[in-house]
Structure 1
Amino acid sequence: MPARHPALARAQAFAGRYGLQAPVLMAPMAGASPVALARAVAQAGGMGALGALLMDPVAITDWVARFRESGGGPLQINLWVPDPPPRRDAAHEAALREFLGRHGPPVPATAGDVPLHDFHAQCQALLAARPMAVSSIMGLLPPAFVAQLKAAGTAWFATVTTVAEARAAEAAGADVIVAQGAEAGGHCGAFRAEAARDEAVGLFALLPQVVDAVRLPVVATGGVADARGVAAALLLGASAVQPGTALLRTPEAAVNPAWAEGLAGAAPEGTRLTRAFSGRGGRALATGYVQAAAAPGVPEPAPYPVQRGLTAAMREAAAAAGDLQHLQAWAGQAAALAPARPAGDVVRGLWAGACELLG
């Protein structure tokens, strides 16, 4: 039956274009996109996802093979566009190691030397995997790679956090714009790291202005965790939604139990934008460590990925101990709305509830 509401018709058209039953895309969360979660979202009619930042080409290929062997379905794979090489400061890093040693195990002098995976090699692995979509965050994909994606029939979903970024992504050849509001959990996708905090815009201010600024379909992400949020995003012009935190309490996500419990009890004001884990700004639960890292007199976090390396020992120890206060517990401002139900039920409920609300 054709949708009576224009917002539903738009969303159904987007879903049809990408082989979906529901215009619900799993957020591609690096380190939190297990095959089981992506499969459950895809089999419920949405689009599964892989955040491939932390994976080499072999790991990417293996993940995609396991996803397809288990049933597969529409898939998005995400990569970060690399920042320029970070500036190093030995004295500053020594002060950070001393501070972090008070919150976890001693930090080795070489901890900040964390290598990044080869971005070009990761891109080639994505081309070989041929997902439905490749998505970007932190900037624009290189033109040569964009041309390869288009030749392969793979869509480019470009994540943006401002209207200017959306226009730039459209001009660069993106097929879909993913508008990320400041409510979103995890890393902020701002093209310039230094602008992430000062230029942070809430989704419901950003979304309609991005929709007005570009001619491409727009996917809404950030703070969308129940059917009310989906319906509101569609009314503001979105063609689909991309929940992340809303899926983290599902059994398929299999996140640390302390993290899942922290999400359940989080008020919107109980999250913070912080650089304290990776050096790149992201929204996390306002845990003891996050607050301590923001206290006066504490050394500023090092740039990405140096800070990620410096905090690795603390994060690993906290995960092993179930210590929420030092865990890397990313969380959007709608975290408390995330249901502890199977991911397929969440996806179906988001879409069915939005359809009911929009009539």
Structure 2
Amino acid sequence: MSTWPDTRILDLLGIELPIIQAPMAGATGTAMVIAASRAGALGSMPAAALSIEQLREALGTLRAAGTRPLNVNFFCHQPPPVDAERERQWKNLLEPYYRELGADFDAPTPVSNRAPFDSVACEVVEEFRPEVVSFHFGLPEKRLLERVKATGAKVLSSATTVQEAIWLEQHGCDAIIAMGYEAGGHRGMFLSEDLNSQIGTMALVPQIVDAVSLPVIAAGGIGDARGIVAAFALGASAVQIGTAYLFTPEASVTASHHSALRSAQASETALTNLFTGRPARGIINRIMRELGPISPAAPAFPLSGGALMPLKAKHEADFSNLWSGQALRLCKDQTSYELTRTLGAQALEKLQRT
């Protein structure tokens, strides 16, 4: 019998530990998912940066490894309309960097893209039938969501405000990820674009717990067992952890990202829209300092990254996103399996002493 104080997520998702390994597009591969799953967490595979062929291959690898249960995560943004003038102005803003680094400013701008959940992706869900399907930026349209739920999958999505949590409950979620301001990567906000609406995990979690009847998963600023214990005290049934998994050997991070994670201070992250067009938390680098982390000139998600690609190729550390949450200095170098088991054991020990 479990000795966790709240077992609703364990029972709902069929996992041993109330830990969800965050699906981090670009940094999470099958090795991390398999290791976290074998350790008792919910392993989560991000799909937003994968082609359909790559997604099918990844899910085939995970199923062959016996990874159960499995979470597959999708973005459900709406692709923006073409705005050639805005893209031209954005590239012009970056022209001094092109000249400095010797990048070809006159060459066609590369395309930066993230695939939203659609009917083709839904067919892959129907084929592999993951036990959990999670979404970022709200939920897909009703017919697609009904198809997902018809497979038997439990549906999760991120809320950054109480209003978003209520909306998710009303539209078919089985559990809600309460994403605090401290979290790394893209904000899951979808009812508002106002960053002033974003609040910290400590304030967000109990308010969402009070507002909905679904189990709540705390995310943001949780890097060790103390954060897990605090999340349970706030009424959460589980936690989602991302940045700590970036320190594992299974993380597919660049050398620059690896170095920045181990040298940056907790105060050296900020929300920025420069790299994709949507606010996301990362370690401050040169372009964030010089242009300011939030720029109205950045094209809408996910297009702004295209003009940065030639600069990134010349100097990765200065012009690439270095996603990280604010708890990075709590994180340690260990395998995904060791991290998961250690967090679970230490949190359970602390909870039993309280």
Give the structure-1-normalised TM-score. 0.90
**Displacement of 1:100:** 4.7
Residue 288 (structure 2) pairs with residue 290 (structure 1): yes
Q: 1:2 to 1:98 in 2, by over 3 A?
A: closer
Match of 2:330 among 324, 332, 337: 337
For the residue of structure 2 that corresponds to 1:232, the secondary structure is helix
CA–CA distance in 2 between the matches of 1:207 and 1:156? 19
Unaligned runs of 5+ in 2: none
Aligned residues with identical type, % of pairs: 34
Whether the 8 Å CA contact 2:277–2:300 is kept in 1: the answer is yes
CA–CA distance in 2 between the matches of 1:269 and 1:139? 29
Match of 1:119 among 117, 120, 123: 117
**Displacement of 1:203:** 0.7
Q: Which residue of 1 aligns with 2:17?
A: 22
Whether the 8 Å CA contact 2:139–2:145 is kept in 1: the answer is no
The one-letter code matched in structure 2 to 1:135 is: S
Residue 60 (structure 2) pairs with residue 61 (structure 1): no
Post-superposition Cα deviations, 1:66-91, rounded to whole Å, max 9, x if no partner, equal: 12223422211111112352451424
Which shows bigger deviation, 98-107 or 328-337? 98-107
**Displacement of 1:301:** 1.6
**Displacement of 1:304:** 1.3
Q: Which residue of 2 aligns with 1:189?
A: 188
CA–CA distance in 2 between the matches of 1:316 and 1:122? 30
Match of 1:80 among 75, 80, 85: 75
For the residue of structure 2 that corresponds to 1:179, the secondary structure is strand
Q: Which residue of 1 aligns with 2:35?
A: 40
The one-letter code matched in structure 1 to 2:133 is: V
Residue 5 (structure 2) pairs with residue 9 (structure 1): yes
What pairs with 1:148-163 in structure 2 (closer than 5 Å)? 148-163=147-162
Equivalenced residue count is 348
Post-superposition Cα deviations, 1:93-125, rounded to whole Å, max 9, x if no partner, equal: 342341452575335554265455463222322
CA–CA distance in 2 between the matches of 1:97 and 1:108? 12
Q: 1:193 to 1:95 in 2, by over 3 A?
A: farther
For the residue of structure 2 that corresponds to 1:302, the secondary structure is coil
The one-letter code matched in structure 2 to 1:119 is: F
Q: Which residue of 2 aligns with 1:202?
A: 200
Residue 312 (structure 2) pairs with residue 315 (structure 1): yes
Q: 1:329 to 1:113 in 2, by over 3 A?
A: closer
Match of 1:350 among 343, 347, 354: 343
Give the structure-2-normalised TM-score. 0.91
The one-letter code matched in structure 1 to 2:343 is: L
Q: 1:208 to 1:218 in 2, by over 3 A?
A: same
Q: Which residue of 2 aligns with 1:219?
A: 217
**Displacement of 1:60:** 0.7
Whether the 8 Å CA contact 1:50–1:78 is kept in 2: the answer is yes
Q: Which residue of 2 aligns with 1:143?
A: 142
Post-superposition Cα deviations, 1:309-333, rounded to whole Å, max 9, x if no partner, equal: 2222233444xxxx43333210100
